[in-house]
Structure 1
Amino acid sequence: MAQRLLLRRAWTLSTRELRPLPLYSVTTSFLPSSSPLLLTGSSPRAAGPLPPHHAPRRWVSFNVQDHDDFTERVINSQLPVLVDFHAQWCGPCKILGPRLEKAVGKQKGRVAMAKVDIDDHTDLAIEYGVSAVPTVIAIRGGDVIDQFVGIKDDDQLDSFVSKLIGQ
């Protein structure tokens, strides 16, 4: 179900709103000459102007792929990072995830959010002492600043994120 929602969201986004991930290159050899992508600099963008309701977004939420990805994008991050340890089968995780994304989105790029599925990355869960899900850990400069287990309301999440960025 969550995968279908993610796919639906991806289909509705314009090409301009999507930014390439670092360390990946865009190859155009497979694109037909009539492709709507124009390459300028190092990032693709949509040909022509976008409607006013499609403002560019800064994506600050990502799924951790492996331990090296976690080290690179969380531990070595210039931004403070909220790490959401969750599981697909966890009901409270499905409630907390969108709330966390909303709280992170309010910060307009001052904090990032990493999602770690404990079933796929058991080693990371063990390393950070995760014994129940959802567990959220706040990391700044590679150090654990704070953490909580379970669901929080929107005000508590906003306060938690503000504490992480030092407000």
Structure 2
Amino acid sequence: MAHRLLIRRISTFSAKNISCLRPSTTASSSSFSTSLQSASTRVSFLSPSRTLPRSLPHTSLREISFNVQDHEDFTDRVINSELPVLVDFHAQWCGPCKILGPRLEKAIAKQKGRVAMAKVDIDDHTDLAIEYGVSAVPTVIVIRGGDVVDHFVGIKDDDELDSFVSKIIGQ
């Protein structure tokens, strides 16, 4: 995207502005450098109000919430995790899952790294859903030290989710 922005800026840079950068045949090198400096202050590719976007900082939400890629990834990041992990079994077609997911992420973010969240799409990872007895979505299970310590099925409001996550940390 930065490349496209730069190309757009260059292509809109008019010939008039470029001509002020060319030295006249009678200009000395010092007057040429002065004209370059004044032209560069007049014509700016990136004004302070139009800077290139910087990379987004990593947030704790990004670090503690992740999508499970495969069974090996699940084992590495959930079963072998030192933190308790909420595993959100969901599906793309599930309306309540789309409501619960962001609420869970918000509740996890409030804990500031004391609990993690794994998201498992049951259509992509049917084997994990069967292994953990998921018969309806959304289903949330808590795994600590490789063992399932708690779970719930369905949707909960924000207060219930906060107390559920707090209870997990307190165990």
| Same fold flag (TM > 0.5) | yes
Runs of 4+ in 1 over 4 A off after TM superposition: none
The CA distance in 2 between the partners of 1:17 and 1:78, in whole Å, is 25
Task: Tell me how many residue pairs correspond in the alignment.
Answer: 117
> Is the aligned partner of 1:17 residue 2:57?
yes
State TM-score, norm by structure 1: 0.67
Percent identity between the two aligned chains: 83
Aligned counterpart, 1:35: none
The CA distance in 2 between the partners of 1:14 and 1:150, in whole Å, is 39
Deviations for 1:98-140, whole angstroms, at most 9, x for unmatched residues? 0000000000011000000000000000000000000000111
Cα RMSD, aligned residues only: 1.4
Unpaired segments ≥5 residues, structure 2: 1-52
Asked if 2 retains the 8 angstrom alpha-carbon contact of 1:77 and 1:141, the reply is yes
Q: Please identify the structure whose Cα radius of gyration is greater.
A: 2
Task: Name whichever structure is richer in helix by fraction.
Answer: 2
State TM-score, norm by structure 2: 0.66
Q: Following TM superposition, by how much is the alpha carbon of 1:163 offset from its aligned partner in structure 2, in angstroms?
A: 1.2
From 129, 142, 149, the equivalent of 2:146 is 142
The CA distance in 2 between the partners of 1:93 and 1:69, in whole Å, is 22
Aligned counterpart, 2:90: 86
Q: Following TM superposition, by how much is the alpha carbon of 1:15 offset from its aligned partner in structure 2, in angstroms?
A: 2.7
**Matched letter for residue 143 of structure 1:** D
Aligned counterpart, 1:160: 164
Q: Following TM superposition, by how much is the alpha carbon of 1:16 offset from its aligned partner in structure 2, in angstroms?
A: 5.3
Task: Name whichever structure is richer in strand by fraction.
Answer: 1
